[in-house]
Structure 1
Amino acid sequence: MSTENNKTTSDIVGKLWNLCNILKDDGITYHQYVTELTYLLFLKMATETGTEDQLPENYRWADLETRAAPDRLEFYKILLIHLGGHGSTLVQEIFANASSFIKKPATLSTLVAEIDKLDWYSVHREDLGDLYEGLLEKNANEKKSGAGQYFTPRALINSMVRIMQPSLTDIIQDPAAGTGGFLIAANHYLRTQNDFDELTEAQQRKYRNNTFYGMEHVQDTHRLALMNLMLHGIDGGIRYGDTLSPEGQALPPATLILTNPPFGTKKGGGLPSRDDFTYPTSNKQFCFLQHIYRGLKPGGRAAVVLPDNVLFESNIGSDIRRDLMDKCNLHTILRLPTGIFYAQGVKTNVLFFTRGDSDKGNTQETWIYDLRANMPQFGKRTQLTEQHFAEFETAFGDDPLGTPASLTKRNDQGESGRFRRFSREQIAERGDSLDISWLKDDSATDAQDLPEPAFLAQEALSELDAAMEELRGILEELGADFEEDLV
């Protein structure tokens, strides 16, 4: 995108975001605002892009706009219900169970008028996706919205995509898709690396319909994701459902998985309802990790954001790490800086691994890059940028599979450096813990950078869950049949 187009898109994003002040006066939250705006933008953009044929007649932007102001809100609410069951499959998915939070007719009339006033002709068709993505990022950056607590920074997403080098032959999956950030970034990478004008019609169709897959279990987020993908030229792709239920088993095997699964435990502390996990656990991260490495085709690769507890929890945690290192070549771990997520205390890593042709002995060595020690305190004042990942990307090398031949070209920087090699035997001596650090961290931690109480409470719950898992394991070893007494 040119600088001029970028500025135009940014200006429109700013104007759209400022409309939230109108809705705040009507008692509408930031998250509800973005959902509400998605309905209206879909109708408007269908008009601007000449794709209104996917909407039933009499339920389009012009029909809403030409209604008398006092009747417009009532018609809008009827329109939302109607589109949930009529029109194209995409329309029905985006408007499924849709309802409006707007209470005052004047609020809707102002929104319609302001959206219509925007200079849509200055936005190129291919830039509409960037406009919408910018709106989603604004929402995530607004702490009051709650949407950004675990929002994956775009700089991190783009670095992971560059390292994994998506290709046109890939089947790309995000089992915790959110608003589709990883899939959109992979799409952008592929479009900059390939000449799509040279693809046959069949190749174009395969790309649009059979390259990107994902799942999202929050319906409002799912509609935002579908809108995001549509504006970036991808048809569907993200299903509404729970990856940790049998619905997740229906996702096709992938050659590339890029994801940042949700942290914490399954609601109510229950086990996932799908029955194909070797190690059932209420810990969401461990469940998603099993889904990911089991869902890769042989030779398929993954880059996954996971919190520290996945690296060190014992019992089932150790079993799952051993299973991962058996079935996959876990060749690289990137220890991420703290503060890059809006829940300040979250400590995370990116695990890079490749599924083996066999299910045993695939990890021979794991390289760990410490981008956490002696790093700035990221937040509003210090933004995480793609430049922060430049040295890691150079150290990683140009082989997304992490094959043994490419690992021999890496440089172990020793105890004073950020990048080090650990053999499978060394990891086993640590009890198969991958929580390995060696640099003395001299970076100061201000009181304002301390974890928020909600995060500390969540962390305590995770530790209690881990303790419960250990107690259950002990009871099972003793042959006890009264494990329910623990609950």
Structure 2
Amino acid sequence: MMTGELKSKVDKIWETFWTGGITNPLTVIEQFTYLLFIKGLDEVETQREQEDALLGIESERIFPPDKQHLRWSKFKHFEAAHMYEVVSNEVFPFIKNLHGNKESAYAKYMGDAMFMIPTPQLLVKIVDGIDHIPMKDRDTKGDLYEYLLSKIATAGTNGQFRTPRHIINMMVELVKPTPEDIIVDPAAGSAGFLVAAGEYLRNHRSDLFLVQSLKEHFHNQMFYGFDMDRTMLRIGAMNMMLHGIENPNIEYRDSLSEQNNDRDKYTLVLANPPFKGSLDYEAVSSDLLKVVKTKKTELLFLALFLRILKPGGRCACIVPDGVLFGSSTAHKAIRKEIVENHKLEAIISMPSGVFKPYAGVSTAIMIFTKTGAGGTDHVWFYDMKADGYSLDDKRTPIEENDIPDIIARFHNREAEKDRKRTEQSFFVPVEELRENGYDLSINKYKEIEYEEVQYEAPSVILEKVEVLEREIIQGIKELKEMIRG
């Protein structure tokens, strides 16, 4: 949990970056993270030295004898100009060349890292600030990184914006990842979904770390994330490693292109794909266009999820409301594909303020299982009205929160069968979806109860108005007499 003291330390370092001329939030996070990693390498080395001393052995070292001055604990004591020269000309190149060191998962993502701190004085201030942040605890590292990411206050140019952590956590709770899962986010960004899945397994299935094969799977083959923004790729990879996932498969990839030939590979998709913009047909994988002939990214990603999942694989993804009721041939085709050929399980409608201040778009969570043989019988709908935060740009915490109720009801859907359409959640049979052209918007099926309101007779209301008017006139008279005094 991020304490107020820790937040204020991070805020102070952030302010130091800004006053030093580094004002792009992504650049700040990158530079901040590189230094956290450099500090982390030294901490790993120190821990190894202590363990070696205890066991009387000599294990492999990150820093050779002639590179000891590149350790955080050493260079942090150097005077400004010397520190700057060592960090920029020796530490960064050293880390980039750690690629051959399999022990250093950090190194994989530092290949194109650029040192962008402009002056020795600024570096000294930042190193001093970071030195006072406690980083031993994995949870603290993760929370610190989440707090840094929350400072990205602008949407990306390609339609990216950060999915709120509590929405990500809800989606993970709904699908309950297992130790055997192979999890992918084809539009990973800062890897929030993958991190949350990892944390869920640590909290609910910690026994997996007692089985060597499952532990290996967790660190090496469980998590896959793809993105086309190299900055976000580095940030996402570092996010995962700061959350204790040693070797995440985070790669540069246009998930919708012909170059992505993944098929029947993953058991769980967790994603909030980009909604904005459309693509060239030429750039899009031809087998996706066979499922849904469109340029709209949100529809193409749904077709992609169906292709890359193994039979029996599950998906929880965020879609804009238009996907649920759009009347184009492509919109209807993808909805029909999911309903008729696979198993659509749930549509959770979210209020439009959930993604503020980034965007005011109305969205829903779609949950389905790839079967290739149908299976949709009744689809569960939920009308989320509150997520624990105000739905304006400030997003301040409030008491109203449907998320615990959504999770509880979803995992006990047997008890939902008798709910009426006037309630917050209810089932809709597949036959009714067919009759309505596979429309999946909750308002199509929700029933509103109108209560009859009894008003007083007009003559009674007029009498009351007359009484009020006489009282006002009397009050004015009394005021005039007081003034004449």
Q: Normalised by the shorter chain, which TM-score bucket?
A: 0.7 to 0.9
Aligned to 2:25: 30
Highest RCO, 1 vs 2 (Cα 8 Å, sep ≥ 6):
1
CA distance in 2, matches of 1:322, 1:439: 24
Relative to structure 1, the CA distance from residue 169 to residue 386 in structure 2 (aligned partners, 3 Å threshold; closer, same or farther) is: farther
Relative to structure 1, the CA distance from residue 441 to residue 223 in structure 2 (aligned partners, 3 Å threshold; closer, same or farther) is: farther
Relative to structure 1, the CA distance from residue 225 to residue 409 in structure 2 (aligned partners, 3 Å threshold; closer, same or farther) is: same
Aligned to 2:355: 341
The yes-or-no answer on 1:427 pairing with 2:433 is yes
**Mapped contact 1:93–1:223 kept (Cα < 8 A):** no
Deviations along 1:144-177, whole A, 9 cap, x unmatched?
9999973212211111111111111211211111
The yes-or-no answer on 1:240 pairing with 2:240 is no
**Mapped contact 1:312–1:435 kept (Cα < 8 A):** yes
Relative to structure 1, the CA distance from residue 15 to residue 316 in structure 2 (aligned partners, 3 Å threshold; closer, same or farther) is: same
Aligned to 1:472: none
One-letter amino acid matched to 2:314: R
Aligned to 1:325: 339
Aligned to 1:352: 367
Deviations along 1:279-298, whole A, 9 cap, x unmatched?
34321111211111222111
CA distance in 1, matches of 2:339, 2:264: 22
The yes-or-no answer on 1:104 pairing with 2:98 is no
Deviation at 1:82, TM superposition (A): 5.0
CA distance in 1, matches of 2:112, 2:352: 38
Deviations along 1:390-446, whole A, 9 cap, x unmatched?
222222224xxxxxxxx554235323212232222222222222223036699xxxx
Secondary structure (helix, strand or coil) at the match of 2:260 reads: helix
Deviations along 1:55-109, whole A, 9 cap, x unmatched?
7746543565355422444543434355334344633432232213322221112
Gaps spanning 5+ residues in structure 2: where? 49-60, 451-485
CA distance in 2, matches of 1:135, 1:298: 38
More deviation, 82-91/155-164: 82-91
CA distance in 1, matches of 2:449, 2:283: 38
CA distance in 2, matches of 1:63, 1:260: 43
One-letter amino acid matched to 1:170: D
Match for residue 221 of structure 2 among 210, 214, 225: 210
Deviation at 1:350, TM superposition (A): 0.2
CA distance in 1, matches of 2:156, 2:186: 23
CA distance in 2, matches of 1:384, 1:148: 28
Aligned to 1:390: 404
Relative to structure 1, the CA distance from residue 361 to residue 31 in structure 2 (aligned partners, 3 Å threshold; closer, same or farther) is: same
The yes-or-no answer on 1:304 pairing with 2:317 is yes
CA distance in 2, matches of 1:172, 1:261: 15
Aligned to 1:3: none
Aligned to 1:48: 43
Relative to structure 1, the CA distance from residue 75 to residue 127 in structure 2 (aligned partners, 3 Å threshold; closer, same or farther) is: same
Deviation at 1:353, TM superposition (A): 0.5
Q: Following superposition of structure 1 onto structure 2, how do residues 363-442 of structure 1 map, counting pairs within 5 Å? A: 363-372=376-385, 377-383=391-397, 387-398=401-412, 409-437=415-443, 438=446
Larger-gyration structure (1/2): 2
More deviation, 171-180/249-258: 249-258
Aligned to 1:467: none
CA distance in 1, matches of 2:75, 2:277: 43
The yes-or-no answer on 1:21 pairing with 2:21 is no
CA distance in 2, matches of 1:339, 1:361: 34
**Mapped contact 2:263–2:309 kept (Cα < 8 A):** no
Deviations along 1:305-328, whole A, 9 cap, x unmatched?
111111122111211221122332
Counting matched residue pairs gives: 421
One-letter amino acid matched to 1:35: E
The yes-or-no answer on 1:155 pairing with 2:155 is no
**Mapped contact 1:397–1:410 kept (Cα < 8 A):** no
Gaps spanning 5+ residues in structure 1: where? 1-5, 399-406, 443-487
Relative to structure 1, the CA distance from residue 441 to residue 344 in structure 2 (aligned partners, 3 Å threshold; closer, same or farther) is: farther
